[in-house]
Structure 1
Amino acid sequence: MSDQNPPSSGPSDLRSAVAAGSKKRRTIILTTSAVVAVALIVGVVAIVSNLGGTASSAAGTPAAGERRSVKIATAEDSQFQDAIAAVASEKGLDVTWVNVDDWVLPNTELVAGSVDANAFQHILYLSAFNAQNNADLTPVFSTVITQWGIFSSTLKNVSEIPSGGRVAIPDDPSNGGRALNILASAGLIELAADAGDFPTVENVTSNPKNLQFVALPARDIPLQFNDPSLSAVVVGTSYFDPAQNVSKDDALFLDDSLDEKNLPYVNVVATRADNADDPAWATLKEAYADPRVADALEKEQFGNSVLVDVDVNTLRDKLAELQKSASKK
């Protein structure tokens, strides 16, 4: 978090707002004024809309017999997305998922007008893109939080990471900074007090173990998990393929995703500013809130990612603050 918005004292508003609607569902509700936080995914969905001019109900759901359609670009194919599409269809919104191979295309295609929204990213990543590309992408609602941690295929505790150990961190500014903050929280390094929202290795002021930071694309880090040259990796728990049998319980150190400092890592559905009021987003948000969607996410992610509901004005205010910070880099 930036110096302009320090964490409040006392219990996290985010944590106290967790509602256990069922044993498989954890949904976070935040008020407009709450200074809250939730950690990314990664990320998840890009939305392309081919919306007609038909009227919608006040709640955003098409009137009986009327249908709308959107295309959603995503960085992965999943049962979670299938569940969203199925529920949205019941509400009169036809969703078609379009998979892409990287995290750049969903935003560039959105800016170009090929798609009408996306939801593969957290707001810190979005702020960096907006700042670097003079774009005006904005959140329309929050989706999920992904928990991050430090993992190793050979070690059992962070204290076992050897002097000179090589640690893989993401190579993009937002996730790379997040990884450095996690290493700092684990007591492995210290960061400059003025490092801001996008710390880099240049902001490391203390590195007792003389760790070597290996920058890799975030999505590729789990693929390097068993690389014998790496002592550890820092990545989102949901990034591991289920076949790797790696969960949050295997982390040497697990970030507290419900800490208020993690608001920048809330994943969102985003669109262009001139399309933010389209009623299709209200319908899509209703689909995300359906218990069947929560069940699909739990089945797929085993609790590594959870659905969250953060007030959109809180998201937009934080995005503006982060974007200002990113513009100074």
Structure 2
Amino acid sequence: MSDEKSTPEGQSELRSAVAATAKKKRNTLLAVLAVVAVAAIVVGGVFLFKALGTEKAEAAGDDVTEPITVKIAVAEDSKFQDAIKEVAAEKGLDVEWVNVDDWVLPNTELQAGNVDANAFQHILYLSAFNAESGADITPVFSTVITQWGIFSATLDDVADIPEGGKIAIPDDPSNGGRALNILASAGLIELADDAGDFPTTDDVTSNPKNLEFVALGARTIPTQFDDPSLSAVVVGTSYFDPAQGVTKEDALFLDDSLDEKNLPYINVVAVNSDDVDNPAWAILKEAYADPRVADALEEEYFGNTILVDVPVEKLRSKLAELQKSAEQNK
């Protein structure tokens, strides 16, 4: 695509995006310039919003513009979200996080118009939802990517997983497929060459240890981590409750989240396609890029989840490719 940046030889675009983000955070001059740019975006967004019909309040004879308000569905509460809300408010955007306890509701609520956006899913999951429901939900910018791995409460090495061992993997097509790819990368199984973006256990062509796959809700897998019937679990490192004391250093095998093959697992802020030009999203994107938000993310997830900045055209192109694949596999 015309606006994609080239990357150094041997370096994925995801890794370059992260490096660029880190460089911006360290460079004080660029941070100052970013503040100026954000101010311009906010002013432009406010004037556009007024032109679209924002209500005005009269105070001492002066027009006072109300802040833009958006409702965004998420799957959990976090200090990271608190930081985004605080920074966005400084820029004239009032963010109301709507927490739901299900991974389908953020999309169905968006379809129904009960929220303006959601921020909980990667584009592979979104492609599966769009294909299944006929929805037209699309990303407006990238947010984070979470590192995944194989974890065990009792074992110290992948080689120690026993014959017939039970492995917990997510029960949804996108995350379940990611787990199978990780097991394949660890050398525990082999997948068919034509497995595609949504491999299932039916695509396992070699399983030397006769592993048994136990499908569970991705969010519940960490709660089953200590189940003595499970030899290991495959899940995102940030899914564990901090009280469990499980970090990426405890993984039997750790996936490289910044490898280009993991582009489908980039998380996004997603909206209905007819709302992509809402000026709120430019302001929200600037809030995500604020160093205070990066600090809050690091504090909460200890580097297991990191901010990435991938061109939206690249995200939408990959979404279309993944959605076509999902529709063919229905």
TM-score range, shorter chain: 0.7 to 0.9
Shift of 1:12: 1.9
* Other-structure match for 2:196: 196
- Please tell me whether residue 154 in structure 1 is matched to residue 120 in structure 2: no
What TM-score comes out, normalization by structure 2 length? 0.84
* Other-structure match for 1:253: 253
Partner SS for 2:120: strand
Give the number of equivalent residue pairs.
291
Shift of 1:54: 1.6
Shift of 1:114: 1.0
Cα deviation per residue 1:242-285 (whole Å; 9 max; x = unaligned)? 00000001000000001110000000000011001111000000
Shift of 1:67: 1.2
Query: Would the aligned equivalents of 2:76 and 2:99 in 1 still touch at CA under 8 Å?
Result: yes
* Other-structure match for 1:73: 73
* Other-structure match for 2:96: 96
Partner SS for 1:131: helix
How far apart are the structure 1 equivalents of 2:292 and 2:151? 31
Give the structure with the higher percent helix: 2
Counterpart amino acid of 1:73? A
How far apart are the structure 2 equivalents of 1:222 and 1:313? 34
The structure having more radius of gyration, on CA atoms, is: 2
Return the match for 2:50 from 51, 54, 58.
54
Structure 2 spans left out of the alignment, 5+ residues = 1-7, 27-47, 53-62
- Percent of residue pairs bearing the same amino acid type: 77
- Please tell me whether residue 218 in structure 1 is matched to residue 214 in structure 2: no
Partner SS for 1:309: coil
Partner SS for 1:159: helix
Query: Would the aligned equivalents of 2:238 and 2:301 in 1 still touch at CA under 8 Å?
Result: yes
Counterpart amino acid of 1:129? F
Query: Would the aligned equivalents of 2:17 and 2:309 in 1 still touch at CA under 8 Å?
Result: no
Structure 1 residues 251 and 191, CA gap change in structure 2 (3 angstroms): same
How far apart are the structure 2 equivalents of 1:125 and 1:9? 30
How far apart are the structure 2 equivalents of 1:296 and 1:17? 19
Shift of 1:15: 2.1
Structure 1 spans left out of the alignment, 5+ residues = 1-7, 27-51, 57-62
* Alignment map for 1:106-255 (pairs within 5 Å): 106-255=106-255
Query: Would the aligned equivalents of 2:157 and 2:252 in 1 still touch at CA under 8 Å?
Result: yes
Counterpart amino acid of 2:50? T
How far apart are the structure 1 equivalents of 2:306 and 2:255? 14
Shift of 1:14: 2.4
How far apart are the structure 2 equivalents of 1:276 and 1:22? 27
How far apart are the structure 2 equivalents of 1:148 and 1:280? 31
Shift of 1:112: 1.0
Counterpart amino acid of 1:307? L
What TM-score comes out, normalization by structure 1 length? 0.85
Counterpart amino acid of 1:69? T
How far apart are the structure 2 equivalents of 1:19 and 1:162? 39
Partner SS for 1:298: helix
How far apart are the structure 2 equivalents of 1:265 and 1:16? 16
* Other-structure match for 2:284: 284
* Other-structure match for 1:45: none
Partner SS for 2:103: coil
Structure 1 residues 150 and 64, CA gap change in structure 2 (3 angstroms): farther
Structure 1 residues 272 and 257, CA gap change in structure 2 (3 angstroms): same
* Other-structure match for 1:318: 318
Counterpart amino acid of 2:310? V
